[in-house]
Structure 1
Amino acid sequence: MPALQLTVNGQPFTGDVPRQTSLLHLLRNDLGLNGPKYGCGLGQCGACTVHVDGTAARACVIPAQGVAGRAITTLEGLGRRGHFHPVQQAFEEAQAAQCGYCLNGMVMQAAALLAREPQADEARIRSELSGNLCRCGTHVEILRAVSLAAARLGAAAVPEAPR
């Protein structure tokens, strides 16, 4: 078994991981992180979304060995200890979850988008989240939550006018 080194939620990880092990399996079964969910196993539903070096990625289809040396962020590592990330806060305020199964993927996908484009508009948010499935049909609330986070982050990203 080849040794693997990577960083997960700011913490170094080193371990012997079989080549066929998916990143999702490593995160959930070996590291006990329950944010990313197993949904389809094909990278099509988004439930397993994590950030790899800040970019949203589907952990169920990525070999753990394929992210050696990289920084992985899961839902558990998105906010600071004791403080929600703005997207997580907006989801709570907008009550944007029913069963919560898609929540991880929606939050992680939205957080990656807003890190790149803090002023993303509704059309851009819809486009970005289009590959994430919500079986409960709470898309309206999810869109409202991400738009709320975008408004807050976008306002913070706009430089103050010179005086």
Structure 2
Amino acid sequence: MSPPMERIQILEAIEKDIITCLQSAGQAFMELSKDKPNSKQAEGQTHQFIKTLGLVESKLSDQINYLTQVSTGQPHEGSGYESQKVLQMAWHRLQHVRSRVDELERLKNKHMHSRSLAALGRPQQPQQQQQQQQQQQQQQQMASNNVSAQQPQTNSTTS
């Protein structure tokens, strides 16, 4: 049987012991709540309760110790948690490095493009191009306003 299945069976046995423990306590209380309790029977149930409770405590301590060993990274043949965690962290580091390399590549391409535009004598910034276009449009509007102001206005009224 595989180790995980053995652990599950052990936990099921502990669960049954807890049920037995609670039943013993319940029977002891039932006996003590009677009008004429049988002290020998109540005492027997109490001893059964204490004995089973000690057994449950011991088994649970073993399970807690096992889980402590597995979760602290100590070598254990039944656990792959540590290697999974190492793999996951390496994957995150790889993704981060890839994103940084992509960002640097993008910045390099942008810089190379702006240098090639500068070498050709073109403006480097698209913002500068927009400003120049706006200035040209304003100048054209002012020129057309000046032309319309210089044209004589015709009077449609006759004297």
Q: Which category describes the TM-score, using the shorter chain as reference length? A: under 0.3
- For normalisation by structure 2, the TM-score amounts to 0.22
Larger Cα Rg: Structure 1 or Structure 2? 2
Higher helix proportion:
2
TM-score normalised by length of structure 1: 0.21
Q: Which has the higher contact order (CA 8 A, sep 6+)?
A: 1
Which structure has the highest strand share of the two? 1
